[in-house]
């Protein structure tokens, strides 16, 4: 995938509230782009438009046609009544994926989740759920990865370890990571930073 993804003059309003006002961004292929900005600046709305979950009122997006998307939302969006293995396997069920249980186990070990494979998600801590959501997105088949405040709720060494794992697994992939945390951006060292 050589082409860039280009957003031109995107605008979005909800009633009287202008959420995005004439936003233009180019997302380079195979690179990590961090989108920074305080709450209420339209970062999540922009991500939802890129994922096809909402429609912009004006503007165009090119370069997303036919791409497989994976995402970590602000909420974990896991199936609480299923175990870790099944939650991670869900994106693979209709795609003819060759992801193995051994690969999942290795990924769980990398983020200190080994021994919890059979646990139901509802029995996990918030930080454990977050890491499962991140693993599910990283192990899913994708051409572009969208992350919305992916490391929130993680602290100290767990956060650093998770960011290190993410950087290793997403290297060379097209990634848009939304955050308001300057320290995260400094740690991730993205190729491109966009401020809303």
Q: Give the tens place of pLDDT for each residue, 32-77.
A: 999 998 888 899 999 999 999 999 999 999 999 999 999 999 999 9
For the cut 60, the answer to whether the pLDDT of residue 2 exceeds it is no
Question: What pLDDT does residue 1 have?
Answer: 44
Residue 96 lies in a domain: yes
Residue 72 lies in a domain: yes
For the chain, the DSSP string reads --PPEEEEEEEEEETTEEEEEEEEEEE-TTSEEEEE--TTSSHHHHHHHHTTSS--SEEEEES-TT--EEEE-SS----TTSBHHHHHHGGGTTTT----HHHHHHHHHHTT-TT-TTSBGGGS-HHHHHHHHHHHHHHS--SEEEEESTTTT--HHHHHHHHHHHHHHHTTSEEEEEES-HHHHHHH--SEEEE-
CATH number where 44 lies: 3.40.50.300
User: Alpha-carbon distance 26 to 5, whole Å?
Assistant: 6
User: Alpha-carbon distance 122 to 158, whole Å?
Assistant: 20
Residue 128 lies in a domain: yes
pTM, two decimals, is 0.93
User: Alpha-carbon distance 143 to 164, whole Å?
Assistant: 20
Same domain, 83 and 106: yes
- Domain range for 88: 68-142
Residue 183 lies in a domain: yes
Mean pLDDT of 14-25: 93
Residue 74 lies in a domain: yes
For the chain, the domain total comes to 2
Q: Is 187 exposed, middle or buried (0-12, 13-18, 19+ CB in 10 A)?
A: middle
100, 127, 142: which is the final residue of a domain?
Answer: 142
């Amino acid at each position: 995938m050589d082409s860039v993804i280009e957003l031109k003059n995107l605008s979005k309003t909800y009633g009287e509230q202008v959420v995005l006002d004439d936003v233009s961004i180019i997302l380079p292929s195979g690179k990590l782009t961090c989108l920074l900005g305080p709450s209420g600046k339209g970062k999540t709305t922009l991500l939802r438009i890129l994922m096809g979950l909402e429609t912009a009122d004006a503007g165009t997006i090119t370069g997303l046609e036919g791409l497989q998307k994976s995402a970590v939302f602000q909420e974990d969006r896991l199936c609480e009544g299923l175990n870790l293995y099944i939650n991670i396997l869900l994106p693979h069920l209709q795609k003819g994926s060759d992801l193995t249980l051994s690969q999942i186990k290795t990924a769980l070990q990398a983020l200190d989740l080994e021994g919890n494979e059979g646990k139901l998600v509802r029995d996990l801590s918030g930080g454990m759920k977050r890491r499962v959501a991140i693993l599910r997105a990283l192990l899913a088949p994708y051409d572009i990865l969208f992350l919305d405040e992916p490391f929130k709720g993680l602290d100290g060494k767990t956060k650093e370890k998770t960011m290190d794992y993410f950087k290793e697994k997403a290297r060379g992939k097209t990634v848009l990571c939304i955050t308001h945390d300057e320290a995260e951006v400094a740690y991730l060292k993205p190729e491109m930073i966009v401020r809303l």
